[in-house]
Amino acid sequence: MTSTPRLGDPVRAVETPPGRTRSGRGPRSGEGRWVLLFLGPTLIGLAVLSAGPIFATLGISLTKWDMLTAPQLVGLDNYAKLLGDDRFLKALRNTAFYTIVSVPLGLALALALATALNQQIRGIAWIRTAYFLPLVTSATAIALVWLWIYSPSGPLNDILGVFGIKPQRWVADSTLAMPSIIAMSIWQGLPANVIIFLAGLQAIPAEYYDAASVDGAGRRSRFRSITLPLLTPSIFFTGVLALIGAFQVFDQVYVMANPGKPGEATITLVYFIYEAGFRNFKMGYAAAASWIMFLIVAIATILYFRTQDRWVHYQ
Protein backbone atom coordinates (compact mmCIF):
# COMPACT_ATOMS: atom_id res chain seq x y z
CA MET A 1 0.00 0.00 0.00
CA THR A 2 1.17 3.51 -0.71
CA SER A 3 1.02 6.22 1.91
CA THR A 4 -0.74 9.49 1.24
CA PRO A 5 1.70 12.39 1.11
CA ARG A 6 1.30 14.79 4.03
CA LEU A 7 1.86 18.47 4.24
CA GLY A 8 5.45 19.20 5.06
CA ASP A 9 6.88 16.00 3.49
CA PRO A 10 9.83 16.62 1.12
CA VAL A 11 8.85 16.71 -2.52
CA ARG A 12 10.59 14.00 -4.56
CA ALA A 13 10.93 14.01 -8.31
CA VAL A 14 8.98 11.32 -10.04
CA GLU A 15 11.38 9.02 -11.86
CA THR A 16 10.47 7.89 -15.33
CA PRO A 17 11.82 4.75 -16.92
CA PRO A 18 14.74 5.27 -19.32
CA GLY A 19 13.64 5.76 -22.91
CA ARG A 20 10.13 6.93 -21.98
CA THR A 21 8.52 10.30 -21.40
CA ARG A 22 5.95 11.13 -18.74
CA SER A 23 3.24 10.95 -21.35
CA GLY A 24 4.00 7.23 -21.79
CA ARG A 25 5.35 7.62 -25.29
CA GLY A 26 8.86 6.95 -26.49
CA PRO A 27 11.19 9.91 -27.00
CA ARG A 28 11.40 9.10 -30.69
CA SER A 29 7.73 8.65 -31.34
CA GLY A 30 7.80 11.78 -33.50
CA GLU A 31 10.65 10.36 -35.55
CA GLY A 32 8.70 7.15 -35.98
CA ARG A 33 5.84 9.06 -37.53
CA TRP A 34 8.20 10.73 -39.98
CA VAL A 35 9.73 7.38 -40.86
CA LEU A 36 6.30 5.93 -41.62
CA LEU A 37 5.40 9.04 -43.57
CA PHE A 38 8.40 8.80 -45.86
CA LEU A 39 8.35 5.01 -46.15
CA GLY A 40 4.59 4.92 -46.69
CA PRO A 41 4.64 5.45 -50.48
CA THR A 42 7.32 2.79 -50.89
CA LEU A 43 5.50 0.30 -48.69
CA ILE A 44 2.24 0.94 -50.51
CA GLY A 45 4.01 0.54 -53.85
CA LEU A 46 5.53 -2.77 -52.74
CA ALA A 47 2.15 -3.99 -51.51
CA VAL A 48 0.33 -3.01 -54.70
CA LEU A 49 3.00 -3.73 -57.31
CA SER A 50 4.73 -6.73 -55.71
CA ALA A 51 2.65 -8.46 -53.06
CA GLY A 52 -0.57 -7.86 -55.00
CA PRO A 53 0.60 -9.57 -58.23
CA ILE A 54 2.18 -12.40 -56.24
CA PHE A 55 -1.08 -13.34 -54.55
CA ALA A 56 -3.02 -12.69 -57.75
CA THR A 57 -0.74 -15.18 -59.49
CA LEU A 58 -1.47 -17.69 -56.75
CA GLY A 59 -5.18 -17.31 -57.45
CA ILE A 60 -4.65 -17.65 -61.21
CA SER A 61 -2.60 -20.82 -60.67
CA LEU A 62 -5.74 -22.49 -59.30
CA THR A 63 -7.68 -21.81 -62.49
CA LYS A 64 -7.74 -22.73 -66.15
CA TRP A 65 -7.58 -19.46 -68.07
CA ASP A 66 -6.60 -18.49 -71.60
CA MET A 67 -7.21 -14.71 -71.21
CA LEU A 68 -10.09 -14.96 -73.71
CA THR A 69 -12.68 -16.82 -71.68
CA ALA A 70 -13.68 -16.67 -68.03
CA PRO A 71 -11.32 -18.48 -65.61
CA GLN A 72 -12.43 -21.92 -64.44
CA LEU A 73 -11.45 -23.06 -60.96
CA VAL A 74 -9.47 -26.32 -61.15
CA GLY A 75 -7.81 -26.36 -57.74
CA LEU A 76 -4.41 -28.02 -57.66
CA ASP A 77 -4.74 -29.71 -61.05
CA ASN A 78 -2.15 -27.41 -62.64
CA TYR A 79 0.41 -28.33 -60.01
CA ALA A 80 -0.31 -32.04 -60.40
CA LYS A 81 0.10 -31.81 -64.17
CA LEU A 82 3.37 -29.91 -63.84
CA LEU A 83 4.90 -32.59 -61.65
CA GLY A 84 4.14 -35.11 -64.40
CA ASP A 85 5.16 -32.85 -67.28
CA ASP A 86 8.45 -34.08 -68.76
CA ARG A 87 9.10 -30.71 -70.39
CA PHE A 88 8.73 -28.88 -67.07
CA LEU A 89 10.99 -31.38 -65.30
CA LYS A 90 13.55 -30.94 -68.07
CA ALA A 91 13.39 -27.16 -67.58
CA LEU A 92 13.88 -27.68 -63.85
CA ARG A 93 16.95 -29.88 -64.41
CA ASN A 94 18.43 -27.44 -66.92
CA THR A 95 17.92 -24.52 -64.53
CA ALA A 96 19.51 -26.47 -61.68
CA PHE A 97 22.48 -27.36 -63.88
CA TYR A 98 22.83 -23.75 -64.99
CA THR A 99 22.73 -22.54 -61.38
CA ILE A 100 25.14 -25.13 -59.96
CA VAL A 101 27.73 -24.45 -62.68
CA SER A 102 27.41 -20.71 -63.32
CA VAL A 103 27.19 -19.40 -59.75
CA PRO A 104 30.40 -20.92 -58.28
CA LEU A 105 32.42 -20.37 -61.46
CA GLY A 106 31.19 -16.80 -61.81
CA LEU A 107 32.02 -15.93 -58.20
CA ALA A 108 35.47 -17.55 -58.36
CA LEU A 109 36.38 -15.77 -61.60
CA ALA A 110 35.03 -12.45 -60.31
CA LEU A 111 37.10 -12.79 -57.14
CA ALA A 112 40.24 -13.52 -59.16
CA LEU A 113 39.67 -10.52 -61.42
CA ALA A 114 38.88 -8.22 -58.49
CA THR A 115 42.14 -9.26 -56.84
CA ALA A 116 44.01 -8.54 -60.05
CA LEU A 117 42.32 -5.15 -60.43
CA ASN A 118 43.04 -4.21 -56.82
CA GLN A 119 46.51 -3.06 -57.72
CA GLN A 120 48.08 0.38 -57.65
CA ILE A 121 49.59 0.44 -61.10
CA ARG A 122 49.63 3.02 -63.82
CA GLY A 123 46.45 3.11 -65.90
CA ILE A 124 44.47 0.79 -63.58
CA ALA A 125 41.53 3.24 -63.51
CA TRP A 126 41.17 3.01 -67.30
CA ILE A 127 41.42 -0.78 -67.17
CA ARG A 128 38.65 -0.93 -64.56
CA THR A 129 36.43 1.41 -66.58
CA ALA A 130 36.88 -0.60 -69.77
CA TYR A 131 36.14 -3.84 -67.98
CA PHE A 132 32.94 -2.51 -66.39
CA LEU A 133 31.42 -1.43 -69.73
CA PRO A 134 29.37 -4.67 -70.15
CA LEU A 135 27.51 -3.69 -66.97
CA VAL A 136 25.74 -0.85 -68.80
CA THR A 137 25.09 -2.84 -71.97
CA SER A 138 21.74 -4.45 -72.75
CA ALA A 139 21.55 -8.18 -72.11
CA THR A 140 19.91 -8.67 -75.50
CA ALA A 141 22.73 -6.81 -77.25
CA ILE A 142 25.32 -8.91 -75.43
CA ALA A 143 23.49 -12.11 -76.38
CA LEU A 144 23.42 -11.06 -80.04
CA VAL A 145 27.17 -10.38 -80.01
CA TRP A 146 27.86 -13.76 -78.47
CA LEU A 147 25.52 -15.39 -80.95
CA TRP A 148 27.77 -14.00 -83.68
CA ILE A 149 30.86 -15.27 -81.80
CA TYR A 150 29.31 -18.74 -81.63
CA SER A 151 28.18 -18.77 -85.28
CA PRO A 152 29.80 -21.38 -87.60
CA SER A 153 31.82 -18.63 -89.30
CA GLY A 154 32.37 -16.65 -86.10
CA PRO A 155 35.68 -15.72 -84.47
CA LEU A 156 35.57 -18.56 -81.93
CA ASN A 157 35.58 -21.23 -84.63
CA ASP A 158 38.26 -19.28 -86.51
CA ILE A 159 40.49 -19.38 -83.43
CA LEU A 160 39.86 -23.09 -82.97
CA GLY A 161 40.67 -23.64 -86.64
CA VAL A 162 44.15 -22.24 -86.07
CA PHE A 163 44.81 -25.13 -83.67
CA GLY A 164 43.33 -27.68 -86.06
CA ILE A 165 40.03 -28.08 -84.19
CA LYS A 166 37.02 -28.48 -86.41
CA PRO A 167 34.24 -25.84 -86.17
CA GLN A 168 31.53 -26.46 -83.60
CA ARG A 169 27.83 -25.65 -83.81
CA TRP A 170 27.81 -24.37 -80.20
CA VAL A 171 24.29 -23.11 -79.37
CA ALA A 172 22.80 -25.27 -82.13
CA ASP A 173 24.28 -28.42 -80.60
CA SER A 174 22.28 -30.07 -77.83
CA THR A 175 25.47 -30.94 -75.91
CA LEU A 176 27.24 -27.58 -76.20
CA ALA A 177 24.22 -25.26 -76.08
CA MET A 178 23.86 -24.93 -72.30
CA PRO A 179 27.63 -24.70 -71.59
CA SER A 180 27.84 -21.99 -74.26
CA ILE A 181 25.06 -20.00 -72.58
CA ILE A 182 26.70 -20.48 -69.19
CA ALA A 183 30.03 -19.14 -70.51
CA MET A 184 28.33 -16.03 -71.89
CA SER A 185 26.30 -15.49 -68.70
CA ILE A 186 29.41 -15.71 -66.53
CA TRP A 187 31.13 -13.09 -68.66
CA GLN A 188 28.06 -10.87 -68.55
CA GLY A 189 27.73 -11.05 -64.77
CA LEU A 190 31.41 -10.49 -63.97
CA PRO A 191 31.44 -6.66 -63.80
CA ALA A 192 28.76 -6.41 -61.09
CA ASN A 193 30.43 -9.07 -58.94
CA VAL A 194 33.87 -7.57 -59.50
CA ILE A 195 32.65 -4.17 -58.29
CA ILE A 196 31.35 -5.68 -55.05
CA PHE A 197 34.49 -7.74 -54.48
CA LEU A 198 36.72 -4.78 -55.28
CA ALA A 199 34.89 -2.65 -52.72
CA GLY A 200 35.29 -5.42 -50.16
CA LEU A 201 39.01 -5.74 -50.89
CA GLN A 202 39.61 -2.03 -50.51
CA ALA A 203 37.77 -2.03 -47.17
CA ILE A 204 40.25 -4.47 -45.61
CA PRO A 205 42.70 -2.51 -43.41
CA ALA A 206 46.25 -2.53 -44.74
CA GLU A 207 47.56 -3.05 -41.19
CA TYR A 208 46.47 -6.68 -41.32
CA TYR A 209 48.67 -7.36 -44.32
CA ASP A 210 51.59 -5.44 -42.79
CA ALA A 211 51.38 -7.47 -39.60
CA ALA A 212 51.19 -10.72 -41.56
CA SER A 213 54.20 -9.71 -43.65
CA VAL A 214 56.20 -9.00 -40.51
CA ASP A 215 55.33 -12.50 -39.28
CA GLY A 216 56.68 -13.92 -42.53
CA ALA A 217 53.36 -14.84 -44.20
CA GLY A 218 53.53 -15.22 -47.97
CA ARG A 219 51.04 -13.98 -50.55
CA ARG A 220 49.00 -17.18 -50.56
CA SER A 221 48.97 -17.33 -46.78
CA ARG A 222 47.80 -13.70 -46.55
CA PHE A 223 45.03 -14.36 -49.06
CA ARG A 224 43.89 -17.50 -47.25
CA SER A 225 44.10 -16.10 -43.72
CA ILE A 226 43.16 -12.44 -44.21
CA THR A 227 41.60 -11.66 -47.59
CA LEU A 228 39.26 -14.61 -47.91
CA PRO A 229 37.80 -14.52 -44.37
CA LEU A 230 37.24 -10.76 -44.41
CA LEU A 231 35.72 -10.96 -47.88
CA THR A 232 33.12 -13.57 -46.93
CA PRO A 233 30.35 -10.94 -46.40
CA SER A 234 30.85 -9.79 -49.99
CA ILE A 235 30.93 -13.39 -51.20
CA PHE A 236 27.72 -14.12 -49.32
CA PHE A 237 25.96 -11.06 -50.76
CA THR A 238 27.00 -11.74 -54.35
CA GLY A 239 26.09 -15.40 -53.88
CA VAL A 240 22.52 -14.48 -52.96
CA LEU A 241 22.16 -12.23 -56.01
CA ALA A 242 23.76 -14.80 -58.32
CA LEU A 243 21.56 -17.60 -57.00
CA ILE A 244 18.34 -15.66 -57.57
CA GLY A 245 19.51 -14.35 -60.94
CA ALA A 246 20.47 -17.84 -62.15
CA PHE A 247 16.95 -19.14 -61.59
CA GLN A 248 15.60 -16.19 -63.59
CA VAL A 249 17.74 -16.71 -66.69
CA PHE A 250 15.71 -15.97 -69.81
CA ASP A 251 17.21 -13.37 -72.17
CA GLN A 252 20.21 -15.47 -73.10
CA VAL A 253 18.10 -18.55 -73.81
CA TYR A 254 15.51 -16.64 -75.79
CA VAL A 255 17.99 -14.79 -77.99
CA MET A 256 20.74 -17.37 -78.41
CA ALA A 257 19.16 -20.82 -78.23
CA ASN A 258 15.83 -20.17 -79.95
CA PRO A 259 17.32 -19.63 -83.45
CA GLY A 260 19.41 -22.79 -83.19
CA LYS A 261 16.51 -24.89 -81.87
CA PRO A 262 18.62 -27.37 -79.90
CA GLY A 263 15.60 -29.31 -78.71
CA GLU A 264 15.06 -29.33 -74.95
CA ALA A 265 18.70 -28.77 -74.06
CA THR A 266 18.36 -25.10 -73.14
CA ILE A 267 14.80 -24.71 -71.89
CA THR A 268 14.74 -23.11 -68.44
CA LEU A 269 12.00 -22.46 -65.91
CA VAL A 270 11.39 -18.86 -66.94
CA TYR A 271 11.41 -19.81 -70.61
CA PHE A 272 8.90 -22.58 -69.84
CA ILE A 273 6.67 -20.07 -68.05
CA TYR A 274 6.91 -17.65 -70.98
CA GLU A 275 6.11 -20.38 -73.46
CA ALA A 276 3.16 -21.72 -71.47
CA GLY A 277 1.66 -18.31 -70.76
CA PHE A 278 2.37 -16.18 -73.81
CA ARG A 279 2.62 -18.75 -76.59
CA ASN A 280 0.14 -21.40 -75.53
CA PHE A 281 -2.05 -19.01 -73.48
CA LYS A 282 -2.21 -21.37 -70.51
CA MET A 283 -2.11 -18.66 -67.90
CA GLY A 284 -3.11 -20.88 -64.98
CA TYR A 285 -0.48 -23.44 -65.97
CA ALA A 286 2.19 -20.74 -66.28
CA ALA A 287 1.18 -19.20 -62.95
CA ALA A 288 1.49 -22.57 -61.22
CA ALA A 289 4.97 -23.04 -62.72
CA SER A 290 5.99 -19.58 -61.53
CA TRP A 291 4.84 -20.38 -58.00
CA ILE A 292 6.83 -23.60 -57.98
CA MET A 293 9.89 -21.65 -59.09
CA PHE A 294 9.19 -19.04 -56.42
CA LEU A 295 9.06 -21.70 -53.71
CA ILE A 296 12.26 -23.33 -54.94
CA VAL A 297 14.12 -20.01 -54.96
CA ALA A 298 12.73 -19.09 -51.53
CA ILE A 299 13.77 -22.42 -49.99
CA ALA A 300 17.24 -22.27 -51.60
CA THR A 301 17.73 -18.70 -50.37
CA ILE A 302 16.60 -19.55 -46.82
CA LEU A 303 18.96 -22.53 -46.67
CA TYR A 304 21.77 -20.36 -48.00
CA PHE A 305 21.10 -17.74 -45.33
CA ARG A 306 21.16 -20.41 -42.62
CA THR A 307 24.72 -21.37 -43.60
CA GLN A 308 26.20 -17.91 -43.11
CA ASP A 309 26.90 -18.43 -39.40
CA ARG A 310 29.31 -21.19 -40.31
CA TRP A 311 31.53 -19.38 -42.78
CA VAL A 312 30.72 -15.65 -42.98
CA HIS A 313 33.00 -13.53 -40.79
CA TYR A 314 32.12 -9.92 -40.01
CA GLN A 315 34.73 -7.53 -38.67
Rounded distance between C-alpha atoms, residue 95 and residue 80, angstroms:
20
CATH of the domain at 181: 1.10.3720.10
**In this predicted structure, what is the pLDDT of residue 259?**
46
**In this predicted structure, what is the pLDDT of residue 306?**
92
* Whether 164 and 280 share a structural domain: yes
* Whether 45 and 103 share a structural domain: no
* Whether 109 and 194 share a structural domain: yes
Alpha-helical (H) ranges within 47-176 are: 52-61, 77-83, 86-117, 124-131, 139-150, 155-162
Per-residue pLDDT 10s for the chain (315 aa) are 455 545 445 445 445 455 444 444 554 567 778 888 888 888 888 888 888 888 899 999 999 999 889 999 999 999 999 999 999 999 999 999 999 999 999 999 999 999 988 887 777 777 777 777 777 788 888 888 998 999 988 999 999 999 998 989 888 888 899 999 999 999 988 888 998 999 899 889 889 888 988 888 888 898 988 999 999 999 999 999 999 999 999 988 888 876 445 557 889 999 999 999 999 999 999 999 999 999 999 999 999 999 988 888 876
Rounded distance between C-alpha atoms, residue 84 and residue 116, angstroms:
48
Identify the DSSP state of 72: E
**In this predicted structure, what is the pLDDT of residue 313?**
83
Rounded distance between C-alpha atoms, residue 36 and residue 30, angstroms:
10
**Residue 20 lies inside a defined structural domain of this protein:** no
Number of domains in the chain: 2
**Residue 211 lies inside a defined structural domain of this protein:** yes
Helix (H, G, I), strand (E, B) or coil at 44: helix
**In this predicted structure, what is the pLDDT of residue 21?**
47
**Residue 42 lies inside a defined structural domain of this protein:** yes
* Whether 139 and 243 share a structural domain: yes
* Whether 56 and 187 share a structural domain: no
Domain that holds residue 52: 30-61
* Whether 152 and 245 share a structural domain: yes
